[in-house]
Amino acid sequence: MMQFEHMVNTVTAITQEVCQTMLGMEVEVGAAYVDRNPPGPSHGIISLIGLAGAWMGTGSLCCSGDAACKLSSRFLMTEFAEVNEEVLDAMAELTNMIIGNFKTAAEEHLGPLGLSIPTVIYGMSFSARSAGKEEWLIVPFAFEGHTLDVRLCLTPNRGLSHLVAPAAAQAAR
């Protein structure tokens, strides 16, 4: 398993690189923390992508609709004043980039991982929950008066326990 500090450093570096390269903007990292099955935002956007292999879980980006419009405007170089299909697609792509790059980095410690297709949810007065009671790493980023949370939940795949031992052994090297 990746250690907490290593996960935070990896998420921070990847998110900052994606924001600098793809959005042309700097983001300020906040204090990372762990929470048990945190709900998604009560209003705004949550973009989810699954990870599977010897370890499995979910990565997500969570932000307000205004923050998603700002990120999408930078990403697509078109001004968005309200959430629409293009904003949702841009958020899915940003999730794919950030969590996908994390997956690649995490494979050194956890073994091969697959990545699902992103799912983006937008609305008011909703919550998103996982069925388990696993811990989530949450790394908040601030930019231009907005916040973007990058969230990760990883747990050993109990259905593939024969793969966990080799991945853990490889990580110990």
pLDDT, tens digit, 9 for 90 and up, residues 151-166: 999 988 887 655 544 5
User: 84: Cβ–Cβ under 8 A, 6 or more apart, which residues?
Assistant: none
Q: What is the predicted pLDDT for the residue at 39?
A: 58
Distance CA 53, CA 166 (A): 12
Torsion of CA 164, 48, 115, 89, to 10 degrees: -170
pTM: 0.87
* Token pair belonging to 96: 């794919």
Give me the domains of the chain, ranges plus CATH numbers. Answer: 4-172 (3.40.1550.10)
Question: What is the pLDDT at residue 129?
Answer: 67
pLDDT of residue 159: 75
**Per-residue pLDDT for 133 more than 50?**
yes
- Mean pLDDT, residues 13-23: 97
